[in-house]
Structure formats: structure tokens, C-alpha cells
Amino acid sequence: MDVKEVTEKHHLNVYKRFNLILKEGKGVKLFDDRGREYIDFLSGIGVNALGYNHEIVISVLREGIGKLLHVSNLFYTEELAHLLKKLSEVSGLPKIFFTNSGTESNELAIKMVRRYGSSKGKFEIIALKNSFHGRTMGSLSITGREKYHRGFKPLLNGVKFVPLNDRNAFLDAFTSETAGVFLETIQGEGGMRLIDRDYISFVREFTKEKDVLLVIDEVQTGMGRTGKFLSFMHFDIKPDIVTMAKALGGGLPMGAVLTREKVAEVMDYGSHGCTFGGNPLIAKISLSVLEFISRKEFLSEVNIKGEYLKMKLTEKLKGIPFVKGIGGMGLMVGIYIDEFKPREIAEKILDRGVIVGTSGEDTIRLLPPLIINKGEIDKGVEVISGVLKELS
């Protein structure tokens, strides 16, 4: 079977795929149908935090076969209870709902914001320009990138977009009908731009004073990606709602919404549901991944490796005129460029055996598995810098 031909013929044409047929993976490496090896600096866009075929995930899968794979949420399971307890402990948020994806998590967060604000006559939402929260109609409505909106309007009403880190614009957008604010600490799809400490602290204090909910989207930045279990922990704040997904399932579909008691109280029987959310098998895998990643020593290593990656990139890319900077936190790193399109560069890097991503219109996105070592970082950086030097 011609895999590419069949896929292009039958799959909805919404992905611009790289010209690569992947067959298997181990650690931080992937292998194509010809047996060629690639160092993965993208990890399934942040999903495979422990790389590929990690023993923690494989052992739970083996153990789970022949036991409970799925049951209805009308029943209790030990697997879900253990995961709820652990996730609440490491996040500091007591109430949790499980979904299948980041988009689903943000959909629920929108509903919770609207439900919480409804008794006070509030319904408006403030989100950031260049943000990304998903592609379903609700999450799309709070995604601040016009290219994703084309052809799908009208979207949800009552949503306003403001520039990142612009305090005056935020105040201008805020009204007596504002119910919630959605933020990303790093705009993963919007150019890998980082939120300012002063800005996020100001928004948290202001929303708290006005009894408006602050939602932090941790779909890409969570699960240790930035060197803290959740990225908001870098800023000494505590949001009202946190959305998660990607690495939470250890490579399988899993999302979550974490919230405070006062917000959870507005959701009653039948106000939301999710058929597959928190099923026993994925809950058990998630717990194992969660226990591994949330360890202080592991998160410390992520910070060390993230600083090392940025240091090596700065050293190797110095003097390349179209490289405008290196940014990010932990192992979520962006290379800011001009003149060339990021996709064009990513394809050239792929040809040399390293997988990278893109973000926005001017950024190469690096999200290597959190288990990557310094030797693998060196090899990846050598390839990336070699391509960029040739282009210069």
C-alpha cells in the first residue's frame, strides 16, 4: 500500500504533513519506513514528554490488557481516584475533570467561566492576540489568530482580544460584564512569546479583586515542560482554572480541567460530561507519568537541560544575521528568525535527521522529550546550526 497516496486520497485535507513515513520510536529517536534515524526535538508537539516506548508507559499498558480498559463515568474506579488525588496534590487545585484533549479542556473552561459569571450578569471573555486554545467553535472563539477564524463565523460573542503584556489594552477591554480571562504563559502556537512577570501578576490581582476568573492554558506548557510542574508556578500566582492535555496521557489522549472549589460549585449534575474522560487504562498511565515527571529532581534536570539548550543555540547561532534571538523556558524553546519561512527551515533540518516544529510566522519551535540528554542536545543543535549557517 502506498501510505502517502492513500492518506492524501481519504483523509480530510487539514494537515500539511512532512514528507516522512514514521514506523517506530525509542527514547528521543524516531525511525522511518527506510530505517533512517531522527532525533526528535518536537515530541509530538509536546505530547511525548518521556519520549517513545518509555518503560513506565509500556509496563502499565501490558498490565492493563485484560483488565478495565474503559467503563462509564457512572461508576467509580481505583485508577481514577488515585490520579485525582495525585494531580490535586501536585497542582494545588482541589477539583478536576478529565477530557480527551486540550481543546475539550478549554471548552469546559469556557462553560465554567460563563456559568460562574451568569449569576452576576457577566459573560465576556478577554483573551490574547496570537493565542491558541483549540479549533472547536468555543475554543476557536477565544483563539486570537484570525487565520483560524476564516469561514467559521459567527463565533461566540463577547470575546475581546488584547496584545500580550499590554496592561493598558487589558484595562480598556475590561468591563463590568467581563467574566473571565484566558492566558498562556508562553504562546506555543503564536510565536513562542513569553508573558511578563509584572503583567501576569497584575492580571491575577486585578481579576481577583473584581471576582473574575483567571484561566491559564497549560496544555503545552504543563507537565514539567518549562521546568516547573505547571508553568504558572514560575510566577508565584494561582489561577482559578487550569487546562491541561498533551503530555498528561503519556502519549495517549488525555486532558484535564483543574479548578478551585468556588468554581466547581457552579457545575451540577448534567452540566458537562465526557464519555472517555478518565477511563481506567489512561488514568493509570497518566498517574505513572505524573509521578515520574513531578519529582523535584526530574524538574530540576529539565531546567538544567533547558538552560544548556539555550546556551548551545546562542553559541552556535551567533553571527547568523536572520536569527533574531532565542527564548522560552525549560525545554520549550523558540528560535526567532526573519527572511526565511520557519517551515522551509524545518524541512531542511528534517532532511539532516532532526525533527523540529514551527510557531507563528517567524519562529522555529523546539520541544524535545524531557528525557533528552546533553549529548543528544549537542547532536540536534549541531544539525540545526549547520542548516542555518548554510542558509546565511
Q: Does residue 182 register a pLDDT over 90?
A: yes
As a whole number of angstroms, the distance between CA 68 and CA 79 comes to 10
Task: Centre a 10 Å sphere on the Cβ of residue 122 and count the other Cβ atoms it contains.
Answer: 22
Mean of pLDDT values over 223-240:
98
Q: Where are the domains of the chain?
A: 3-54+298-391, 68-293
> For 205-220, b where at least 16 C-beta lie within 10 A, e where not — what string?
ebbeeeebbbbbbbbb
In CATH, the architecture of 68-293 is 3-Layer(aba) Sandwich (3.40)
Mean pLDDT (whole number) for 265-287: 96
User: Residues 293-348: pLDDT tens digits?
Assistant: 999 999 999 999 999 999 999 999 999 999 999 999 999 999 999 989 999 999 99
Which residues are paired to 182 by β-bridges? Answer: 215
Other Cβ atoms less than 10 A from the Cβ of 78: the count is 11
Closest CA relative to residue 173, chosen from 181, 144, 18: 181
Cα separation, 106 vs 88, in Å, equals 19
The 10s digit of each residue's pLDDT in 66-98 is 788 899 999 999 999 999 999 999 999 999 999
Task: With a cut of 90, say whether residue 65 has pLDDT above it.
Answer: no
Mean pLDDT (the chain) is 97
Cβ atoms of 365 and 359 closer than 8 Å: yes
What's residue 392's pLDDT?
A: 86
Cell of 56: 513506565
CB contact at 8 A, 377 and 305: yes
Fold held by 3-54+298-391: Aspartate Aminotransferase, domain 1 (3.90.1150)
The vertex-224 CA angle with 222 and 230, nearest 5°, equals: 45
> How far is 91 from 325, CA to CA, in rounded Å?
32
Residue 63's pLDDT band, with cuts at 50, 70 and 90, is confident
Average pLDDT over residues 9-35: 96
**E strand or H helix at 198:** helix 197-210
366 strand-pairing partners: 333
Kindly report the number of other CB atoms within 10 A of residue 121's CB atom: 9
Cβ distance 384 to 68 under 8 Å?
A: no
On whether the CB atoms of residues 122 and 177 are closer than 8 A, the answer is yes
| Residue 66: per-residue pLDDT | 79
The pLDDT tens digits of the residues spanning 189-204 come to 999 999 999 999 999 9
Residue 64's pLDDT is: 81
H or E stretch covering 324: strand 323-329
391: pLDDT confidence band, cut at 50, 70 and 90? very high
Cα 211 from Cα 178, distance rounded (Å): 10
- Kindly list the distances between the CA atom of residue 272 and the CA atoms of 23, 61, 122, 210, 240, in Å, as whole numbers in the listed order: 38, 29, 20, 26, 18
Distance CA 356, CA 380 (A): 9
Task: Give the pLDDT confidence score for residue 308 in this predicted structure.
Answer: 98
**Cell output for 141:** 472563539
Q: What are phi and psi of 320, to 5 degrees?
A: -80, 115
pLDDT band per the 50, 70, 90 thresholds, residue 170? very high
